[in-house]
């Protein structure tokens, strides 16, 4: 294909992608394709579902509530992503949207809101987080969209925690341990810990309370590290912690 694929729109789809099949797009995507992007039958796009790689697709029918397309050719093989969960206390609207977008770009495989004692109780719109993650993956040429799970209380989550998944716990207060350089600390862990699955846990504005910190410090698989001498907002800390993890333990190595 001589055509410049960089200019094609990219769509995340739920259905399988394979040759000699047809893909049906739901109403919202049909609207986007028809009315926002003004595509016509015969036009091409790219599609991915997180499993079957990326495909060049060609639109067959484009209607108001439904569009269909045929996968033409696989343009990229599926790669395996990071096994990195991001757990974070819910934030207000623009900042939780941002968190979902940025976490997707940074390679998180799962996003889960956790309700801590200092979390300003607020309903979390899981669908909205999911939509933000999908949009980031579509725009940033990614082959994956992280799963988004329902909020859970931190204490419940920790009481059922699978011991092999390590937790990078961004702790602003490390009174007994003094200064701990986070990159050197992670690099110095035992090999089986370094290669284990990981989660990053970002606290609420105002931090974890004393009981929560105690619970976390008591877990063998939790690794409290400070992120430098400055206080960061939670959405900044999430990106910074993921960059730290990716550069020491993840796929930036």
Q: Give the residues lining the site for a copy of itself (CB under 8 A).
A: 79, 94, 98, 101-102, 105-107, 136, 139-142, 181-184, 226-233, 236, 239-244, 246-248, 250-253
**Considering beta carbons, is residue 164 or 251 the nearer one to a copy of itself?**
251
The least distance separating a copy of itself from the CB of residue 113, rounded to whole angstroms, comes to 20
In DSSP terms, which residues pair with 222 in a beta bridge?
167
Query: What is the C-alpha separation between 227 and 244, in angstroms, rounded?
Result: 9
Closest CB to a copy of itself among residues 25, 202: 202
Q: How far is the CB of 73 from a copy of itself (least distance, A)?
A: 22
CA dihedral 94, 124, 143, 137 (to 10 degrees): -20
Helix %, strand %, coil % of the chain (to 5): 30, 25, 45
Instruction: Specify whether the CB–CB gap between 41 and 61 falls below 8 A.
Output: yes
Smallest gap, in angstroms, from Cβ of residue 146 to a copy of itself? 12
CB of 103 to a copy of itself, least distance (A): 10
Chain mean position to CA 186: 21
Q: Which residue lies nearer to a copy of itself by CB, 32 or 98?
A: 98
The smaller minimum CB distance to a copy of itself, of residues 38 and 253, is found at 253
- The answer to whether the beta carbons of residues 225 and 169 sit under 8 Å apart is yes
């Amino acid at each position: 294909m001589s055509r410049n694929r960089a200019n094609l729109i990219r769509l995340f789809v739920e259905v399988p992608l394979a040759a000699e099949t047809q893909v049906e797009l739901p109403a919202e995507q049909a609207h986007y394709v028809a009315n926002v992007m003004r595509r016509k039958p015969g036009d091409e796009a790219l599609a991915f579902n997180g499993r079957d790689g990326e495909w060049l697709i060609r639109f067959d029918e484009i209607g108001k509530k439904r569009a269909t397309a045929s996968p033409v050719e696989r343009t990229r093989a599926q790669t395996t992503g990071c096994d990195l969960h991001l757990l974070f206390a819910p934030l207000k609207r623009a900042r939780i949207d941002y968190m979902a977008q940025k976490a997707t770009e940074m390679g998180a495989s799962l996003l889960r809101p956790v309700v801590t004692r200092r979390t300003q109780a607020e309903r979390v719109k899981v669908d909205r987080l999911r939509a933000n993650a999908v949009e980031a993956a579509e725009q940033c040429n990614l082959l994956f969209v992280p799963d988004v799970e329902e909020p859970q209380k931190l204490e419940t989550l920790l009481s059922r925690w699978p011991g092999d998944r390590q937790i990078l716990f961004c702790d602003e207060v490390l009174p007994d341990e003094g200064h701990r350089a986070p990159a050197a600390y992670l690099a110095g862990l035992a090999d089986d810990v370094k290669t284990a699955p990981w989660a990053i846990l970002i606290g609420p504005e105002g931090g974890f309370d004393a009981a929560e910190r105690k619970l976390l410090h008591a877990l063998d698989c939790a690794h409290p590290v400070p992120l430098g001498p400055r206080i960061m907002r939670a959405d900044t800390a999430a990106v910074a912690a993921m960059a730290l993890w990716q550069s020491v333990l993840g796929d930036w190595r």
